Amino acid sequence: MNVSAPIMGEGSAAREPGGSVLTMKDCEARFEQPGQEPYVAVRGIDLAADVGTFTSVVGPTGCGKSTILNMAAGLLKPASGAVDVNGQRLRGINTTAGYLFQQDALLPWKSALDNVALALRYSGTPRRAARNKAIDWLDRVGLKHFADRYPAQLSGGQRRRVAMAQMWIKQPQLILMDEPFSALDAQTRLIMQSELLGLWSTIGGSVLFVTHDLDEAVAMSDEIVVLSAGPASHVAGRFHVSIDRPRNLLDVKQTEAYRETYDQVWECLKAEVIKTQEKNASA
Ligand SMILES: Nc1ncnc2c1ncn2[C@@H]1O[C@H](COP(=O)(O)OP(=O)(O)OP(=O)(O)O)[C@@H](O)[C@H]1O
């Protein structure tokens, strides 16, 4: 991993505000438990991923962040409420979305190039066209010279870049990310966060980003949604992040706007973290 890679800023050309790619209305998610009442993970969730907006979902551990993302992805059907994509009820997998999860989903027996091209091959793009696009995408994520490497021959940050290229090659309207950088060391993480913002600014689309890390949420987002302690977790607070873009992630934490936003969100999140601790202690 080249940790001396420049920290890219991001522009705003491709981000046009207006409308929602995804809306969740009054959504509840339940899980069956043998011999017990179903476990209500989240209840009454209203959430929107607006066009050109980076929205983060934060909350105490186990509150239902991934559950919400799974409903947005169409991997989990809400027990009640509605998930709409571009105004249409979501039935089945959300094909307008690209995904980036904590764990690599790269095929170990395929090269970086083939892994990236695979996303297009699955949707019927001819082999040569898919490979040409994959080469372009590997170049965009700084891996032009690593196209023939297998996942095991890449660093953690490089594998994340391959996964980002794989996600973006289909130009999804909505990007769903669940702790995508949490397994990386702090420096690599910062570089990947910056590269994500840089790519997003040129490509556009909406981002729904789940993280444990409030620093990351404030530095990256336009909107932050705080979930309450579970069970039946609900939205405890919504915050707009009015830090100018492009953002230099090396310096953003020194700004007044960052500190003010962080403090406001933390006040809300802290109360939910304490509730979770108390619940866990008395369980
Ligand atoms: N398939 C399942 N069956 C039963 N319970 C589940 C299932 N999936 C999640 N849960 C429960 O639902 C709650 C929410 O889980 P979820 O993974 O969405 O939380 P999270 O906020 O993403 O957690 P973390 O912060 O630890 O990553 C948890 O209490 C979890 O144990």
Centre of ligand 1 to C-alpha 71, Å, is 12
Cα 282 from Cα 184, distance rounded (Å): 33
Protein residue closest via CA to atom 15 of ligand 1: 64
Centre of ligand 1 to C-alpha 100, Å, is 18
State which amino acid sits at residue 118. L
State which amino acid sits at residue 205. G
pTM reported for the whole predicted model: 0.90
Cα 165 from Cα 195, distance rounded (Å): 11
The ipTM (two decimal places) reads 0.98
State which amino acid sits at residue 263. D
Ligand 1 site, residue 60, Cβ cutoff 6 A = no
Ligand 1 site, residue 66, Cβ cutoff 6 A = yes
Contacts of 252 (CB under 8 A, 6+ apart): 219, 243, 258
Segment holding 132, helix H or strand E: helix 127-140
Q: Can you give the residue ranges of every domain in the chain?
A: 20-96+174-282, 105-171
DSSP secondary structure letters along 186-243: HHHHHHHHHHHHHHHHHH--EEEEE-S-HHHHHHH-SEEEEEPSSSSB-EEEEEE---
Phi, psi of 27 (to 5 degrees): -85, 140
Protein residue closest via CA to atom 18 of ligand 1: 64
| Residue-level pLDDT at 15 | 41
Count of beta carbons in the 10 Å neighbourhood of residue 153: 12
| Residue-level pLDDT at 18 | 63
pLDDT digits (tens, 9 = 90+) for 28-86: 999 999 989 999 999 999 999 999 999 999 999 999 999 999 999 999 999 999 999 99
Among 3.10.270.10, 3.30.420.130, 3.40.50.300, 3.20.20.70, name the CATH number for the domain at 20-96+174-282: 3.40.50.300
Pocket test residue of 30, 33, 37, 66 for ligand 1, highest count of atoms within 8 A of CB:
66
Centre of ligand 1 to C-alpha 237, Å, is 20
Protein residue closest via CA to atom 30 of ligand 1: 62
Range 89-117 average pLDDT: 91
